[in-house]
Amino acid sequence: MNIHLLLQMASEAMGYREAVVCGNMRLTFEELGEAAKSVAAKLKTGEKLGYLAEGHPAFPAALFGAALAGTPFVSLNYRLSDEQLAAQIARITPAQFITDTSTKAEGLTLMSPEASIIGPAFDGEAPNEDGAIAVELFTSGTTGEPKSAVLRHSNLMAYIFGTVEFMSAEEDEAALLTVPPYHIAGIAAVLSSTYAGRRMVQLPSFTPEAWINLARKENVTNAFLVPTMLQRIVDYAGDKLDLPHMRNIAYGGGKMPRQTIEAAMALLPHVNFTNAYGLTETSATICMLSPDDHREAFTSDDPAIKRRLGSAGIPIPTIELQIRSEEGAICAAEETGLVWVRGDQVSGEYKGLGSQLDDEGWFLTKDRGFVDSGGYLFIDGRADDVIVRGGENISPGEIEDVLRSHTAIKDVAAVAVADTEWGETVGIAIVCKSEVSDAELCDLVRANLRSSRVPSVIKRMDELPYNETGKLLRRVIRDGFA
Amino acid sequence: MGVVFKPGVKLSSTVCKTQIMVLRVPAVELDISCGGAPMQIGDPAELGDMSGENSGTMVGKRYTDADETMEFLCTRGGDGTLAIAGYVIDIKAAKKLPSSD
């Protein structure tokens, strides 16, 4: 199995269709097929292909090109600090990187997105190697050291075969791609759109205005958004949003505030909304709340149905899902526990850590949640403590490390605080040894990390709660902010 | 003459353009034919004459036997009819899901 097959089929059966649009660049599926061959031809044996850039036609070409050359595609977050990036790159080399930055490291060759997709074509068939790795994506780990999730060709192909019909897109369909290439939703969008034959319209830098304008200009019919993006679009639109061609909007990557989805549905009554719940480790979507479910919940007076607008939906046909207690017992409906899933698309594997699947193939998502009597999944929050701010995963550890470096700080914990705009933001609980202002602490975080890590709330405490074995009780702190 | 196949293997028809990929098969010897002629790994240099059924194959469709013990993806459509040990295999009905990305 090799994901390159998706592009090969698309370029053979509908090569004339437009595949990808970015600014003034437009490639058909046939041309994208050639671009992927040009990327593949540049890779030497044993070299991985890194991608450290915004959305560009080189992204789909590289994803498929690496597969054709039989090497993993590794997409990195260009928003990371230089230090974090250097640490991740060191774990990937030897590699060639497609990037427009001047990153430097040993064993690393760089090429620009523009240069990567031209030149001689790879001559040969995509390898069909058992268990070969297609994609490696770094996740945000609870301890702060990011884990590299491994997605095999067989996982991604199981996802596509389970959710997309070949050439099922109408000729006029176009998907607006705003999720960055280092996010699993960005990878999934390329695979799905290619197999369905849907034009991909790339928007590298999201602003609500740019998104709306591009959707209108390119007659976009489909889009995927993280909740924060949808909220910003709704805020920008005010009481009128004119998107006559839009048919389907899927969302995921974080908790959708009820007010946001209701406002969006009211603004765009002709649009089908789908909530897609999934993880990097599950090759994207494993549960869906369908457009019909949205409309039923939106208009129902029954509290049990109405509530489903906040649900992650039901498992797709190729996925099994169970809620289990901490002790492993299967939970009854409405009983909160840990979310476990099983299916061929579930990798549940990290580099260096191996497979995290249990003996029967079940994977613990580390999300907590419950199902209602109809089987609809409700996610309560993450069992681990990652803060998800606008779809971006933030590890509390890195913020705590920076704050701990301040002489006035005795103890610190960063936790998620519910937020209407971002889903969650960073709240910190501190124990001080001497006087220090909130502004000084915020400046310290801003100077060392990204601005998204800057706390929105700071709470001063006499001591932080720990359990008897010395484990910090983050849940207690989190509840203190609620 | 039967062969044991593994998932991901591509088979070509010798009498039409059809190419299929093995998605799921039992670990037993299989006799896979298209248009009445055995399929082979790799495209033939020249196509032979169609001697068997020619209802055609459609690219992107999945084909399965009556008991759904095996599944193949048609990666290139053609004129022949797919069969396992002489029994015709058909298009598997697809479940339509909303676009999620």
Confidence label for A142 from pLDDT (cuts 50, 70 and 90): very low
Chains A & B: contacts with CB separation below 8 Å: 72
Q: Per DSSP, what are the bridge partners of residue A174?
A: A199
Provide the token pair at A90: 């060191």
Contact A368, A380 (CB under 8 A): yes
Stretch(es) of chain A classified as CATH 3.30.300.30: 387-481
Measure CB to CB from residue B94 to each of A165, A188, A224 and give the nearest one.
A165
In degrees rounded to 5, what are phi and psi of residue B16? -155, -175
Interface subset of A 38-77, CB within 8 angstroms of B: none
Residue among B18, B99, B95, B86 at smallest CA distance from A223: B99
CB contact under 8 A, B59 and A9: yes
> Coil, helix or strand for A396?
helix
Decide: residue A306, CB within 10 A, 0-12 exposed, 13-18 middle, 19+ buried. middle
CA distances for A137 relative to A34, A92, B36, angstroms: 25, 11, 46
CATH for the A4-309 domain, from 3.40.50.410, 3.40.50.12780, 3.30.1360.40, 3.30.365.10: 3.40.50.12780
Q: Does A431 touch chain B (CB under 8 A)?
A: no
Contact list in B for residue A188 (CB cut-off 8 A) is 101
Asked if the model's pLDDT at residue A469 lies above 80, the reply is: no
Residue among A389, A408, A407, A384 at smallest CA distance from A449: A389
Q: Does B93 touch chain A (CB under 8 A)?
A: no
Contact list in B for residue A185 (CB cut-off 8 A) is 101
A465: preceding bond cis by omega (within 30 degrees): no
Angle of helix A184-196 relative to helix A58-69, nearest 10 degrees?
80
User: Nearest C-alpha of chain B: how many angstroms from A475?
Assistant: 32
DSSP secondary structure, A292-348, as one string: HHHHHHHH---HHHHGGGGS-BEE-TT-EEEEE-TTSPBPPTT--EEEEEESTT---
CB contact under 8 A, B8 and A128: yes
Stretch(es) of chain A classified as CATH 3.40.50.12780: 4-309
CB contact under 8 A, A161 and B62: yes
Q: Which helix (H) or strand (E) holds A195?
A: helix A184-196
Contact A35, A117 (CB under 8 A): yes
Q: Does A224 touch chain B (CB under 8 A)?
A: yes
Provide the token pair at A104: 């430097």
Q: Which helix (H) or strand (E) holds A411?
A: strand A409-419
Pick the more confident residue, B93 or A113.
Answer: A113
What's the pLDDT score for residue A467? 60
Upper half-sphere CA count for residue A360 (Cβ side, 13 Å) = 8
CB contact under 8 A, A189 and B101: yes
CB contact under 8 A, A252 and B100: yes
In degrees rounded to 5, what are phi and psi of residue A456? -95, -20
Upper half-sphere CA count for residue A57 (Cβ side, 13 Å) = 25
Contacts of A147 (CB under 8 A, 6+ apart): A138, A139, A141, A350, A351, A353
Average pLDDT for B48-75: 93
What's the pLDDT score for residue A143? 43
Pick the more confident residue, A147 or A371.
Answer: A371
Tell me what the pLDDT averaged over chain A comes to: 92
Reported ipTM: 0.92
- pLDDT digits over A90-117, tens only? 889 899 999 988 767 777 889 999 999 9
A473 vs A467: CA distance, rounded Å: 6
Interface subset of B 8-47, CB within 8 angstroms of A: 8-10, 21, 23
Span of A244-258, A347-361, A374-388, A452-466 with lowest mean pLDDT: A374-388
Confidence label for A146 from pLDDT (cuts 50, 70 and 90): confident
Average pLDDT for A115-135: 94
Contact list in B for residue A12 (CB cut-off 8 A) is 59, 76
CATH superfamily of A387-481: ANL, C-terminal domain (3.30.300.30)
CA distances for A299 relative to A65, A267, A303, A349, angstroms: 46, 15, 11, 41
Q: For A453, which DSSP code?
A: G
What's the pLDDT score for residue A132? 95
If you measure CA to CA, which chain B residue comes closest to A314? B97
Q: Which residue has the tokens 């009128």?
A: A240
Contact list in B for residue A154 (CB cut-off 8 A) is 7
Angle of helix A291-299 relative to helix A258-267, nearest 10 degrees?
100
Asked if the model's pLDDT at residue B14 lies above 60, the reply is: yes
Pick the more confident residue, A396 or A173.
Answer: A173
Q: What percent of chain B has pLDDT over 70?
A: 99
Q: Which helix (H) or strand (E) holds A41?
A: helix A29-41
- pLDDT digits over A370-394, tens only? 999 999 999 876 677 778 898 887 8
What's the pLDDT score for residue A381? 64
Measure CB to CB from residue B59 to each of A13, A290, A316 and give the nearest one.
A13
User: Nearest C-alpha of chain A: how many angstroms from B36?
Assistant: 25
